[in-house]
A and B are shown apart, each in its own frame.
Chain A
Amino acid sequence: MKLKPNLNIMTLKPLGIVFVTISLLTFVLIYTGIMKHGIIITIGLNVAMLLVLVQIIAMIIGLKGPLCDFYRMRIHPLYDPERSFNNE
């Protein structure tokens, strides 16, 4: 029997909110001097770095389309990426 993955992209959203909150709280703890080291700070800082990495991946995914369009426009002068848009 083939198992279907039960992971919906919407399930990642609350996770994202928790991650952003954890990392922001970590920086608040560090800045206020309440906590400078320890397991909580380690988790928070690593989560913050994970979010930075996610943003780099998002940038690359986001840039893929416009860069492909730019390349196609160079190869085929008649290619118009805006055909799908109605820019009246």
Chain B
Amino acid sequence: MSQKMIERFSQPQIGAHAIAALSIMTLYLTGIPLLFPNELGWIPELIGLTKSMFIHRIAAIGLIGSAIYYLVYFVLQLTSGNSNPLKNVLPGVHDVKDAIADMMYAFGMKKEKPAYRKYNWLEKVDIFSVAIFDAVIMGITGIVLWTPWISLSIMSKSTVLVLKEIHGGFAILSLCGILLHFYVVHLTPSRFPMDKTMFTGKMDEHEVLHEYKLWHDEITQGDTK
């Protein structure tokens, strides 16, 4: 029996996510060891520090490129008169309520999980941690560190050193966000060992009904109208 599949992600979203994800992972593997040379020093030693930094910069171009691509995609969607592409992504009061209800469910204080829209609160945290921490903060501080001859002519050396600390600090914070993402996509009971929705762009209707009930209702109501 064939299952009905519902489109969750468009092809541009799949492509941009793939490039961004591979870039971010590469940035972690080549960048985090520099913050902890005693514990992870074997990684740059294995690759070679110069090569490692070269790969880090190539991956940075991938991440910044995919961020710009997303931005252009959203602007074009908005200007072409399509429905607001950020409608499902922007956090609202309902996300705070969902988060509280989810915590209560996790601690056994509630019998049922909250019904989610297209993206649940944890996925929105993921999206905004990547967008704000990785693309904006890490991107800007990274460019400053990448071009010291320009940045040192504009700002003082101490400012550049502070930006370096911010770059490293936010890298760890962002890695924590990605570890949460690891839990969501690999270790959630219904998705173990791996959720392939982000690659195929489609999700089984049964799973949509179970995981994102409000979104399912929205789609089915749209079909009947």
Contact = CB atoms under 8 A, between A and B. Distances in A.
B104 to A, nearest CB: 21
A17 B180 CA distance: 10
Contacts of A49: 28-29, 32-33, 40, 43
Interface residues of B, number: 38
B200 interface: yes
A45 B39 contact: yes
B16 to A, nearest CB: 13
B199 A66 contact: yes
Interface stretch (B47-55, B64-72, B185-193): B185-193
A51 B5 contact: no
B200 A52 contact: no
Contacts of B187: 13, 16-17, 20
Interface string B7-37: 1000000100010011001101100110010
A81 B178 CA distance: 31
B179 interface: yes
A28 B212 CA distance: 31
Interface string A5-18: 00001101100110
A19 to B, nearest CB: 9
B29 A51 contact: no
Given A49-B32, A51-B182, A24 B176 contact: yes
Contact of B172 (A17, A30, A37, A58): A30
B25 A65 contact: no
A15 to B, nearest CB: 10
A16 B186 contact: yes
B4 interface: yes
A37 B39 contact: yes
Interface in A18-71: 20, 23-24, 27, 30-31, 37, 41-42, 45-46, 48-49, 51-56, 58-59, 61-63, 65-66
28 contacts: A10-B192, A13-B187, A13-B192, A16-B182, A16-B186, A20-B182, A20-B187, A24-B176, A27-B172, A27-B175, A37-B38, A37-B39, A45-B36, A45-B39, A48-B32, A48-B179, A52-B25, A52-B175, A53-B29, A59-B18, A62-B196, A62-B199, A66-B14, A85-B2, A85-B5, A85-B202, A86-B3, A88-B4
Given A45-B32, A52-B178, 6 more contacts: A20-B179, A24-B179, A51-B179, A86-B2, A87-B5, A88-B4
Interface of B: 2-5, 7, 14, 18, 21-22, 25-26, 28-29, 32-33, 36, 38-40, 43, 172, 175-176, 178-180, 182-183, 186-187, 192-194, 196, 198-200, 202
